Amino acid sequence: MNERLSDYLLGELEGTDRERFEAELARDPALAAEAERLRPVVTRLESLDRSAWELPEAPALPPITPREPAAAPERERRPAWWRRALVVRPLAAATLAVVLLALGVGAGLLLGGDGGDGGDDGAAGGRVVALDPVEPLGGAASGTATISAKDGRATVNVRGLPPSAKGDFYELWLLNTPDDLVSLGSFRVPASGDADVTVPLPANPDAFAALDVSVEPPDGNPAHSSRSVLRAPLAPA
C-alpha cells in the first residue's frame, strides 16, 4: 500500500509533497484508479451527519405473538337498542366529525381515505398492535393500530386493502364475542389501498380481545357484516 494515498485523500499532503504524489498518480494508472475509487467515500464521510456516528439504541421489538383470535361475529346477533346506541354510520360520522372539529376537540371520524390524526405529536406514547389479514377477504392487507388510552383515541394505518366499492365502507370494531363488540367508526379506502384513520375510543380497549376491521355493505344494517378483513389481538397494556 502506498502510505501517501491516505495523506493525499485526506488533504494532508501539501506543497511539493502533493505535487510529487500527483506526478506519481499520473505515472501509475492503478494507483490513480484506487484514489478515484476511494475519493467519493472520503467526500461522503466528510459530509456525514454527526449523529450518524452515534447510532441510538434500538427500542425493543413490539410484541408479535398473536393471541387466539376472536371469532368473527355473526350478523344480526345484537339487540336493536345496542346497535342504535353504539354504531356510527358514515353520514352520522361525518356530521360528528364536523361538529367535533368545529368545537376544537380535534378528534373525529375521518371518512374518505387519506385521513390524519389532527395531532401534533402523532401517536406518541400509544401502544402499537399489528393488524393481520383475516382470511379469505384480508388477502395481502396489513396495518397497525396505535391505541392511546391516555388520549382516548386510536390511530389505525391500513395498507393493501381493496379500494372501497361504491357505497361500501370499512368499519372498525372493538371485539370480544359476536354479542360483545363496539363500533369505533367507519372509513373508505382510496385507490391506493392505504388509509390512515383516527377514531375516539368510547370504551376501554383492554376490555376487548381484538381490534377488528370489517367491510360493510351500504344496506343500512348497523350490525357487523361478518366480513372481517383485518384483526389485531389486544393484549392488556
> For the window 28-67, what string marks contact with another protein as x by the rule CB under 8 A?
------x--xx-xxx-xxx-xxxxxx-xxxxx-xx-xx--
Whole-number Cα distances in Å, 32 to 7, 19, 23, 28, 48: 14, 14, 10, 6, 25
Cell of 214: 370489517
Sign, Cα dihedral of 178, 66, 156, 169: negative
Query: Rounded to whole angstroms, how far apart are CA atoms 25 and 54?
Result: 36
Among 24, 132, 168, 180, binds another protein (CB under 8 A): 132
Minimum distance between the CB of residue 216 and another protein, rounded to whole angstroms? 23
**DSSP structural state of residue 63:** P
Minimum distance between the CB of residue 164 and another protein, rounded to whole angstroms? 20
In the block, cell 467526500 appears at 43
Minimum distance between the CB of residue 150 and another protein, rounded to whole angstroms? 12
Cβ contacts of 110-113, under 8 Å, gap ≥ 24? 110/187, 110/197, 110/198, 111/169, 111/186, 111/187, 111/188, 112/187, 112/188, 112/190, 113/187, 113/188, 113/189, 113/190, 113/192, 113/195
Minimum distance between the CB of residue 125 and another protein, rounded to whole angstroms? 6
With binding defined as CB under 8 A, does residue 100 bind another protein? no
Query: Rounded to whole angstroms, how far apart are CA atoms 127 and 7?
Result: 52
Among 69, 112, 113, 118, binds another protein (CB under 8 A): 118
With binding defined as CB under 8 A, does residue 27 bind another protein? no
With binding defined as CB under 8 A, does residue 5 bind another protein? yes
Which range of residues in 14-22, 85-93, 123-131, 168-176 is near another protein by CB under 8 A?
123-131
Query: Rounded to whole angstroms, how far apart are CA atoms 136 and 116?
Result: 29
With binding defined as CB under 8 A, does residue 144 bind another protein? yes
With binding defined as CB under 8 A, does residue 124 bind another protein? yes
With binding defined as CB under 8 A, does residue 103 bind another protein? no
Number of residues that bind another protein (CB under 8 A): 56
The residues binding another protein (CB under 8 A) are 1, 3, 5-7, 9-10, 12, 34, 37-38, 40-42, 44-46, 48-53, 55-59, 61-62, 64-65, 101, 106, 116-126, 128-130, 132, 140, 142, 144, 146, 157, 159, 196
